[in-house]
Amino acid sequence: MSNLISSVSWVKRGVAARYPRKYVLDEAELERVSALARIELEDARIELERAHEAAKKMGKGAEGDEADDPGDGDGNEDEWVDEEDDSMAMDEDKPVVGSAAKTDDLSQYDLDEYDDDVKEEGIGPFSNIKGLTFYRDNADDPYITLKEDEEDVEREELEILPTDNVLVTAKTEDEISQLEIYVYDESQENLYVHHDLMLPNFPLCLEWLDFPPASSSSPMQTDGPAKFGNYIAVGTLDPEIEIWSLDVVESMYPDMVLGRPDKTAAHVPVPAGTGKKKRKKTKHRPMSETHHVDAVLGISWNKKQRHMLASASADRTVKLWDLSRAPVADAEGTGESGAAIRSFSIHKDKVQAVQWNENEPAVLLSGSYDRTVRVFDSRAPDTGVGAVLGADVEALRWDPWESHAFYVSLENGLVLNFDTRTLPTDLKAPSPSRFTVSAHDGAVSALDVSPLLRGCIVTGGTDKLVKVWNVNQAEDGKPSVSMVASRDLEIGKVFSAVFSPDEPLTIAAAGSKAKLQIWDVGANFGARKAFASKLAEAGKVLKEKEGGGLVSLENGLVLNFDARTLPTDLKAPSPSRFTVSAHDGAVSALDVSPLLRGCIVTGGTDKLVKVWNVNQAEDGKPSVSMVASRDLEIGKVFSAVFSPDEPLTIAAAGSKAKLQIWDVGANFGARKAFASKLAEAGKVLKEKEGGGLVGLVNDDEDSEDGNDEDDS
């Protein structure tokens, strides 16, 4: 299974708990999980109790053996007898005070009365014996104060400020699926992973919601009679929907599970047909009105009726769920199950996407692999309208600015806009779109509409591009569409691209490279100009940014700072002296030459090692130029360091477990670029036969002349 991020979801500022709490697996949680996840924990609990009892008995047995050892007749009997005799002699000497006792060297310490002395209170320097009390847990010891500092540090590390955005990604890497929760500080252009949550199967879709599920154990914020939380609903290859609290770290189980697991093994493909090429088909699954029987491909939360959730599945159905209803025991008696309250079979193939209409809370929009879209009232689904399309549906979105309009993206690279008022109830009738955009060369797998700028949409495709479009109403009443920006964000095939709920032109995107990228389109002058009037209406003023508007965990930048200009308050601006866009990916190796001023080396996950020359320009600003760049055949570069003896000799290594020595000075261009600095250092470098590369030859690699030993 390849590494990828299939879906991204934003959390608005100020929603997340400032100090997320840690997950506690107590008795009540065990009971909740046992019913929720339909697993039997009673046997495990009994075994755990037995293990504790056995451990206690072993402990007691060991103490008893030690107490009985002096009286045993086996083992080192003579040794124990000698010690016992010594103690008996002391007991005999206790009542006798003779000349022998006085001549004893230890008599001055009055050891015979030692036990009586320590029993007295308030006498001697050790009278405050309570100060020597031993505590098994440092948390109970009043003299240990460092624990509070550790707790404060951990609390500070988990803190999410009200000015921070939270992002959730559905990530699969090395066959491990998880939710990664990021924190994004827009003012500092800082993005980092806050925590993660393990998932049981490959995640396909995400949907944020604030309604606390009935079976949730997480605390909620209260605002009058309404209850609010911070949750994410996850659809996976399993026929269930998991709902997790984002305000709890290190969680082991979701707060609620909708549906029930598939126990028929119907999702396992079986060989079909005969011949050399064997086809595989999926067993028929009996449909259910109360739960899905195949993967959940899309989820939508109703923002007006907050307890309602809609889901789209590969089982060709759309189902509605009531989050306020507590799970009930299923018919098989294996545990509790969240059952759907409605099920709609309005498509003939897998339902790829579904979304509630924010202005009409009972209306749903769905798109399917049967190449149709449907718009229907969940109270009367038979009266819905729809349209036939020319390709499979990839994504769809209601237009938040027009309650009757929606966008749909297709596998053939088109994006269409429809007006529900003109759609027919009979799919055989013509259903023309208002306008069509040829957006990508390949499937348009990502689509979103800005909630802050009217007519601003983003698309992402399998052609690895993310594009921003401006939709305006022309004088003749027809919409006009123009592309404002297009960029390869180095995330591979784009699977998700969504607008920020707080910033009008900030987009989060991810795809087949399992990398999250934040793109502030407003940092582009052309984009600011194109949306100038709309930004003014929204009361937003955007400025150009240093990094070109890109923020990621691996942005490939190298920054230089002057410590004298840095503030003590991290919230204050802290501009760098200069920034170098060094690599396409993480800059995982960095070193500065100790022999040549302004000579630095970088290595990245793009497998390149680069050498840079930093000079002071006449205007006082530093100028940076790349002197050499080379793939040393060591894979992703994890370390690159200068020799302490030679000015341009570098040792590098990486993911191929291979060490390579690169004498950059063997390159004429490098010697020329650093000529003056080499002269200052008193170094003269010459061209070398091997091109400056020295490395070990692998046993399985033969050299050209066949002399492996000599060459190595």
Q: Is residue 576 classed exposed, middle or buried when 0-12, 13-18 and 19+ CB atoms within 10 A define those classes?
A: middle
Report which residue type is found at 643: S
The pLDDT assigned to 508 comes to 97
Is residue 608 within 8 Å of residue 637, measured between CB atoms?
Answer: yes
The pLDDT assigned to 38 comes to 52
Q: Which residues pair with 404 in a beta bridge?
A: none
For residue 345, pLDDT over 70 is answered with yes
The tokens describing 463, both together, are 């052609």
Strand 637-642 vs strand 308-313: parallel, antiparallel, or unpaired? unpaired
Report which residue type is found at 144: I
Q: Which residues pair with 190 in a beta bridge?
A: 185
For residue 337, pLDDT over 70 is answered with no
pLDDT in tens, 376-407: 999 998 889 999 999 999 999 999 999 999 99
CATH 2.130.10.10 fits 556-696, yes or no: yes
Q: What percent of the chain has pLDDT over 70?
A: 73
The pLDDT assigned to 93 comes to 46
Per-residue pLDDT band at 545 (split at 50, 70, 90)? low
What are the E-state strand segments in 186-295? 190-198, 203-209, 221-223, 226-228, 231-236, 241-245, 248-249, 256-258, 270-272, 279-281
The pLDDT assigned to 227 comes to 75
Helical (H) or strand (E) element with 349: none
For residue 264, pLDDT over 70 is answered with no
The pLDDT assigned to 284 comes to 56
Is residue 530 within 8 Å of residue 470, measured between CB atoms?
Answer: yes
If one compares 236 and 150, the residue with the highest pLDDT of the two is: 236
The pLDDT assigned to 267 comes to 47
Residue-wise DSSP of 646-690: STTEEEEEETT--EEEEEGGGSHHHHHHTHHHHHHTT------TT
Strand 318-322 vs strand 456-460: parallel, antiparallel, or unpaired? unpaired
Side-chain half-sphere CA neighbours of 182 within 13 A? 23
Instruction: Give the CA distances from residue 50 to residues 54, 109, 110, in Å, rounded to whole numbers and listed in that order.
Output: 6, 51, 50
For residue 67, pLDDT over 60 is answered with no
Lowest mean pLDDT among 196-205, 307-316, 428-437, 674-683: 674-683
Instruction: Give the CA distances from residue 675 to residues 22, 146, 431, 672, in Å, rounded to whole numbers and listed in that order.
Output: 58, 55, 72, 5
The tokens describing 683, both together, are 């170094």
Lowest mean pLDDT among 340-349, 549-558, 691-700: 691-700
If one compares 245 and 150, the residue with the highest pLDDT of the two is: 245
For residue 111, pLDDT over 80 is answered with no
pLDDT in tens, 157-174: 889 999 999 999 999 988
The pLDDT assigned to 225 comes to 44
Q: Is residue 360 classed exposed, middle or buried when 0-12, 13-18 and 19+ CB atoms within 10 A define those classes?
A: middle
Instruction: Give the CA distances from residue 473 to residues 439, 479, 557, in Å, rounded to whole numbers and listed in that order.
Output: 19, 4, 40
Q: Which residues pair with 509 in a beta bridge?
A: 497, 517
For residue 684, pLDDT over 70 is answered with yes
Per-residue pLDDT band at 66 (split at 50, 70, 90)? very low
Lowest mean pLDDT among 296-305, 334-343, 410-419: 334-343
The pLDDT assigned to 581 comes to 83
Strand 479-487 vs strand 494-499: parallel, antiparallel, or unpaired? unpaired
For the question of whether the overall pTM of this predicted structure is more than 0.85, the answer is no
For residue 344, pLDDT over 90 is answered with yes
If one compares 584 and 483, the residue with the highest pLDDT of the two is: 483
Nearest to 510, CA basis, from 1, 9, 2: 9
For residue 277, pLDDT over 90 is answered with no
SS3 for 176?
A: strand
Q: Is residue 362 classed exposed, middle or buried when 0-12, 13-18 and 19+ CB atoms within 10 A define those classes?
A: middle
The pLDDT assigned to 230 comes to 95
Q: Which residues pair with 601 in a beta bridge?
A: 591, 611
SS3 for 65?
A: helix
The pLDDT assigned to 5 comes to 96
CA 45 to chain centre: 32
If one compares 121 and 633, the residue with the highest pLDDT of the two is: 633
Would you give the DSSP letter of residue 407? E
CA distance 525 to 539: 18
Query: Strand order in 405-410's β-sheet?
Result: 393-398, 405-410, 414-419, 435-438
Per-residue pLDDT band at 216 (split at 50, 70, 90)? low
